[in-house]
Chains A and B, each alone.
Chain A
Amino acid sequence: MADQRVIVIGGGLAGLAATMKIAELGTKVLLISFQPVKRSHSVCAQGGINGAVNIKGEGDSPEIHFYDTVKGGDFLANQPLCKDMCYHAPFVIYLLDRLGVPFNRTPEGNLDFRRFGGTLHHRTAFAGATTGQQLLYALDEQVRRFETQGLVEKMEWHEYLGAVLDSEGRCVGATINNLRTGEIRAERGDAVILATGGPGLVYGRSTNSMVCTGTATTSAYLQGAKYGNAEFIQIHPSAIPGRDKLRLMSESARGEGGRVWVPKNPGDERKPRDVPEDERFYFLEEKYPRFGNLVPRDVGAREIYDICINQKLGVHGEMKVYLDLTHKSREFLDDRLGGILEIYEKFTGVDPREEPMEIFPAVHYSMGGIWTDYESTDDGFINHQSPRNQMTSIPGLYAAGEADYQYHGANRLGANSLLSCIYTGLMMGPGVNNYLKNLPEAASQLPSSVFENDEKRWKERFSDISSMKGSENPYALHSELAEAMISNVLIVRENDKLQSTLDVIEDIESRWKDIECVDTQDWSNPVPSFVNQLWNMIQLSKIITMGALKRDEFRGSHYKPEFDLNQPDDFDPADYLEYEEQKANGGVHKDQFAPSHVDYMERFEKNNEDWLKSSIATYNNGKPAVDFESVDTSLIAPRPRKYD
């Protein structure tokens, strides 16, 4: 076929992995990014990347990794994708090793692995405490190699505004805004991949980079693509309070032995090191003897909330707890956690090798994202040749990385995101290539009218924005939106507050129209673009909140106390499997279980019937709607989670 190419939007781990795989297959790629791809948000990742290589001889395996991932996600993830990802994880890590990532090593020179949340195995490969940066650099280097060979063309400092759809609704290109000149132009592409990362900025301050507005995926949603599980926002238990950003203190600090505690006496004003051992409350270790400080993030964040808000035991009476590494040697800490301890020290002025750190929960990651498809095989893996893999509900428009809604269900396990990003980017390559081969006609052959309409539409939109002369400052309005989301759509969710948040968002939406575009220059003006992004953030916050309002249950990161099934303390999840089996074989022997357990299991089952579904947001005729869709749980039967 005539000249074909793929447009990849975003050069984080997912975008770079897709780019290099597709280029390897001989197809041209146009790589577009807000910023030089080497500065993408993925550099922030600290702790590591999961793969069951079993280097420590603990009997770890991809199957256990798969189970931990599905259980961590509270069974909301489509299982064939998780399975395929976990089985490919050792290969992904080996590939990264070959590409030069300076992973930490064992004395014998093998890759070293550390512990992370939600598993009992050493499964996380790491490069000091800047793993994301190191992985991103390795992929960036490979892409630069293809660039010199002419297979990849980069357009950095360009922003994706929307997909160009032909008369049949197929994506045939993307409208792009040059962030320097302000020129808006449609680029032709036979397929477009959105690898544009997460939307942390909807909450204002988070652990995310300043470009993580979710604007590209929201734009796709506004063009008709389905958006899945928007309400599942991960709150990370340990971040450092900050005025511009909530910097992360990686889970690896706990993986390497960090202990979380508060003084037993509320309002204890002594320095943490002066609080004697028997006056410290190691609440995670006490409540969860098996997983201890390494419970999954949803559990950790809720416990910290409970300690600080309900039990009023927060450090200095605030929403803060201690994360203590002072029992570890300096040398050990510098080798394995140097990068993040330096960040803590630089930004707080306190040396965490000497003093326990003060940390608190912060918005970190979006499990939800653009809905994407896949094709599974009979044995529960993925057919890597299928053009359906990672395709959104708009034909020809794909999504990958944090931008999509797959892999992590209702709660992501630490160190599974770097994996899902790179795995997906590589995995989808052959399918995208096959999609190109099967197209009736190349995008380069289409009449220019297909592209001109979109160009015109976006030019008008931006010229309207540039001439806005209202009274609202867009940055201040953004802070208000964030405030509403932080107050009511965070760890604990209540229906009346969610409802009132929707009203606040609507109010902000109407005030958006009264914005003043505070910079009117033509050259390198970030404001019109931000105003457009703010509009998208408003639309996204609506479906996050609507999803949260509609989902009347407690699952993973979505906690509604009103609908907590209150698992009995002495309940064993294995009983539920037994109960299900008896049921399938003709009837439950209720006398074999404690009555309170039977009652719990019945409620658990009913709850899954009602809610073990992905929420799907769609935008029709200017209005959002949230509906539900079934989840593929054919490989591991859903059961109650338990970590103690």
Chain B
Amino acid sequence: MSRMLKFKIKRQDSKDAAPYWEDFTVPYKSNSNVISCLMDIQANPVNSKGEKVSPVVWDCSCLEEVCGSCTMVINGQVRQSCSALVDKLEEPIRLEPMTKFPVVRDLAVDRSRMFDALKKVQAWVPADGYHDLGPGERISPEHQHVAYKLSECMTCGCCVEACPQYSKNNDFLGAAAMNQARLFIMHPTGKNLRNERLNVLMQKGGISDCGNAQNCVEACPKSIPLTESIADLGKQVSKQFWNNLFSS
């Protein structure tokens, strides 16, 4: 018989339903990743006991680690499932939804909190309009290198899943949003909202909620220097704090 791959998948039928584990076996094919195996289950939704079940629900889109959709916890580690090649995974392969977000169904979770955090830190350039105003400012290649790296964040949620401070019961902004705050403060015109952003970071859920565990930077699939961003903001926030004190 051809080789079979074993999967243990943590499933949950709806938001409030109790989670349960279900086992699947999938024929081994070379060059498989976790997603291609989930697709095989879709095309033949039968569990290891031979029972017909509903296909596993998960999010995915680009399958090349730029959209941030397919994050899950694989063998205990949070990561993108598209780049999780089965040849490099120990069996049985355990798939679980992220724990810091409400489960929608099976492996799909609701990450709207991360997008809301981007609103709070005003992660945008306050442009005057979309008509022709010529090019932006000149920027050195060195500056571009730093900004580009920060800008690769795909809101996948790995950093906050790995963070001991981020929980369903608090309103910590998390590393991803703080990194965006730094990115826009660095920008020649994005910085015009600097004070507003720093004031948000000064509040509850802001910079002081970071416990400096440094898990975020380890977990980031894009190797974004998140701790550096947080440290940089930390300095700016303290300065702002004193400025606010003296100007009020």
Contact = CB atoms under 8 A, between A and B. Distances in A.
Contacts of A473: 43-45
A109 interface: yes
Contacts of B67: 39-41, 43-44, 209
Given A43-B66, A103-B144, A141 B124 contact: yes
A274 interface: no
Contacts of A147: 119
B239 interface: no
Grouping DSSP codes into helix (H, G, I), strand (E, B) and loop, the B interface class, with mixed when no group exceeds half, is loop
Contacts of B76: none
Interface residues of A, number: 73
A100 B141 contact: no
Contacts of B65: 343, 346
Contacts of B119: 144, 147-148
Interface in B41-94: 42-45, 54-55, 57, 59-69, 82-83, 85
B29 A243 contact: yes
B69 A39 contact: yes
B213 interface: no
A24 interface: yes
Given A35-B59, A94-B132, A43 B154 contact: yes
A102 B54 contact: no
A100 B13 contact: no
A248 B122 CA distance: 33
Contacts of B111: 36
A180 B104 contact: yes
A271 interface: no
Interface stretch (A405-413, A490-498, A518-526, A558-566): A518-526
A518 B64 CA distance: 28
Contact of A209 (B61, B122, B130): B61
A100 B190 contact: yes
Interface in A324-364: 335, 339, 343, 346-347, 349
Contacts of B85: 347, 349
Interface stretch (B31-39, B204-212, B230-238): B31-39
Interface string A130-161: 10111001100110110110000000000000
Contact of A475 (B39, B54, B122): B39
A523 B59 CA distance: 15
B139 interface: yes
Interface in B8-28: 13-15
A247 B126 CA distance: 35
A130 B138 contact: no
A26 B102 CA distance: 35
A278 interface: no
A210 B60 contact: yes
A243 B27 CA distance: 13
A209 B35 CA distance: 13
Contacts of B133: 94-95, 98
A245 interface: yes
B171 interface: no
A43 B82 CA distance: 15
B52 to A, nearest CB: 8
B136 A97 contact: yes
A105 B61 contact: no
A574 interface: no
A156 B107 CA distance: 18
A9 to B, nearest CB: 16
Contacts of A20: 130
Interface string A82-119: 00000000010011011110111111111100000000
Contacts of A134: 148, 151
Contacts of A41: 61-62, 67
A100 B105 contact: no
Given A39-B69, A133-B152, A134-B151, A243 B43 contact: no
A130 B144 CA distance: 14
- For A103, A241, A523, the residue with the greatest tally of chain B CB atoms inside 10 Å of its CB is A523
Nearest to A138: B125
A475 B115 contact: no
B139 A105 contact: yes
B219 to A, nearest CB: 16
Contacts of A347: 33, 64, 83, 85
A21 interface: yes
B6 interface: no
B147 A524 contact: no
B153 to A, nearest CB: 9
A102 B151 contact: yes
Contact of A243 (B31, B151, B154): B31
B113 to A, nearest CB: 12
Contacts of B125: 98-100, 138, 141-142
Contacts of B135: 94, 97-98, 111
A444 interface: no
A142 B63 CA distance: 26
Interface in B166-204: 184, 187, 189-190
Interface string B105-143: 100100100010011001111110110111110111101
B215 interface: no
A335 B141 CA distance: 10
B151 A210 contact: no
A596 to B, nearest CB: 47
B124 to A, nearest CB: 4
A130 B54 contact: no
B123 to A, nearest CB: 6
A527 interface: yes
Contact of A38 (B136, B141, B155): B155
Most buried by A among B62, B83, B133, B145: B62
A2 interface: no
Nearest to B39: A244
Contact of B115 (A38, A137, A476, A521): A38
A162 B216 CA distance: 42
Contacts of A127: 148, 151
Given A95-B130, A524-B14, A527-B55, A475 B124 contact: no
Given A94-B135, A475-B42, A105 B124 contact: no
A426 interface: yes
Contacts of B105: 521, 523-524
A196 B27 CA distance: 35
Contacts of B132: 91, 94-95
A210 to B, nearest CB: 5
16 contacts: A40-B67, A100-B184, A102-B148, A104-B148, A142-B125, A211-B61, A243-B33, A245-B63, A247-B63, A339-B152, A346-B83, A426-B130, A479-B43, A520-B54, A521-B105, A527-B54
Given A105-B141, A475-B42, 17 more contacts: A39-B67, A43-B67, A43-B154, A44-B62, A44-B66, A100-B189, A103-B144, A108-B138, A128-B148, A134-B151, A141-B124, A145-B126, A473-B44, A521-B13, A523-B13, A524-B108, A527-B55
Nearest 9 A/B pairs, CB to CB: A109-B138, A141-B124, A244-B36, A519-B54, A524-B105, A97-B136, A102-B148, A245-B63, A98-B136
